[in-house]
Chains A and B, each alone.
Chain A
Amino acid sequence: MKHIIVYRCQQCGGRQKLFKENWVREFVLTCSGQLEPIHILRAFEDGEFGVCVVHCEANACRTLTGCQSAIRQVKYARQLLGEVSIHPERVKTICFQPGCDLHAELNLFLEHLKHLDAHGSESTPDVSERKKT
């Protein structure tokens, strides 16, 4: 089953997992600034549906620049995905604000991904073997 991979800063909704849906795999980070492009690429390498990164507002980031770093890394990852013909909109960022309904946002993202699957020229890849020395 394909999943949406959520990378979420713990300041955006707490340390406990928020999503119980079986189509979501959630990773809680101490700061969204820990995210690197390879984390996003590997999700697609494993055949996942899309990636969602939840980060703080710029003035609320406890590491000051973590959310800006996350935004830059997502931008770079989108460029890398474009090179392998994966639609950049398969990676979404959500800037968490008080009152933000993450479940609603994620459902909207799921609908968008389904739309991309139905109308886009690309589809998510098959799982391939990853080897490392």
Chain B
Amino acid sequence: MIVAQRKPFEEIIAKIEPYQKVIVAGCETCVAECHAGGKKEVEIMASQLRIAFSRKMAPIEITECCIERQCEPEMIEKCAEHVMAQEAVLSIACGIGVQQMAERFPNIPIFPGLNTTFMGTHAKPTQWEERCAGCGNCVLDLTAGICPIARCSKSLLNGPCGGTDDGKCEVSDDIPCAWAEIIERMTKRGKRDQLRQIIPCKEWNTARDGGTRRLIHEEAAP
């Protein structure tokens, strides 16, 4: 899922202050799972904004909506009429949702309420961790299902480096060494010898460095 976290409240307030009709638009998918932009968070954000602006005696009308997937144009359409009646939108979806809203409503200012952080998983009850860097050339079969690009601080394809210490990364004791985990898992599988094969340099032209990526599925044409 895409993991995001809320922007500082003062930053949000400063951005929407000039407007008198604002809608808080959430997304019921990834950002709801990471407790950043789902229905509950929309209610909390809207409530906080109402309290903050009523204390400033500023006349503002805050409304709420939550879209099932804000990255899907068809789903945005369900609340289009309501959004078009607003002066501004505070989108608490990921960056994709914010851009999709901006594309659908080009004349309405859309403000992001979240900082989109990474693609990750719910690792512990209160913790989300990065799992995929979207490099476009997956090597997980070679590394026991642990991504060295996203989870090794140096994105090493052949590790570990000299900075590993008792299974931890030299960057921080909180960060497990991805390569120590890869070796441990391969050892448990009895496949540790496979790690003696050098993984060749990746083709990075599939990664972000090549500019905006596109994917075309001709068979998906209506």
Contacts and interface: CB of A to CB of B under 8 A. Distances in A.
A45 B40 contact: no
In this complex, the interface size class of chain A, counting residues with CB under 8 Å from chain B, is: 20 to 34
The DSSP consensus for interface residues of chain B is helix
Contacts of A44: 51
Given A36-B40, A38-B40, A131 B64 contact: yes
Interface string A99-133: 00000000000000000000000100111111111
In this complex, the interface size class of chain B, counting residues with CB under 8 Å from chain A, is: 20 to 34
A127 B55 CA distance: 10
Given A84-B55, A85-B55, A133-B79, A45 B50 contact: yes
A13 interface: no
A15 interface: no
Interface string B56-71: 0100011111000000
A102 to B, nearest CB: 27
B61 A38 contact: no
A85 B51 CA distance: 9
Nearest to B49: A84
Contacts of A130: 46, 50
Contacts, number: 56
A131 B63 CA distance: 5
Contact of A38 (B44, B53, B54, B82): B44
A42 B54 CA distance: 13
A62 to B, nearest CB: 22
Contacts of B50: 45, 128, 130
B204 interface: no
Interface string B32-55: 000000001001101110111111
A132 B64 CA distance: 5
Contacts of B63: 131-133
Nearest to A38: B43
A17 B64 CA distance: 33
Contacts of A125: 51, 54-55
A16 to B, nearest CB: 30
Contact of B65 (A37, A85, A129, A133): A133
8 contacts: A37-B44, A44-B51, A45-B51, A84-B51, A84-B52, A128-B51, A131-B63, A133-B63
Instruction: For the complex of A and B, list the 6 residue pairs with the smallest distance between their C-beta atoms, beginning with the closest.
Output: A41-B47, A83-B9, A125-B54, A128-B54, A84-B52, A128-B50
Given A36-B40, A45-B51, A131-B63, 13 more contacts: A37-B44, A38-B44, A38-B47, A41-B48, A80-B48, A84-B48, A84-B55, A128-B53, A129-B61, A132-B63, A132-B64, A133-B23, A133-B64
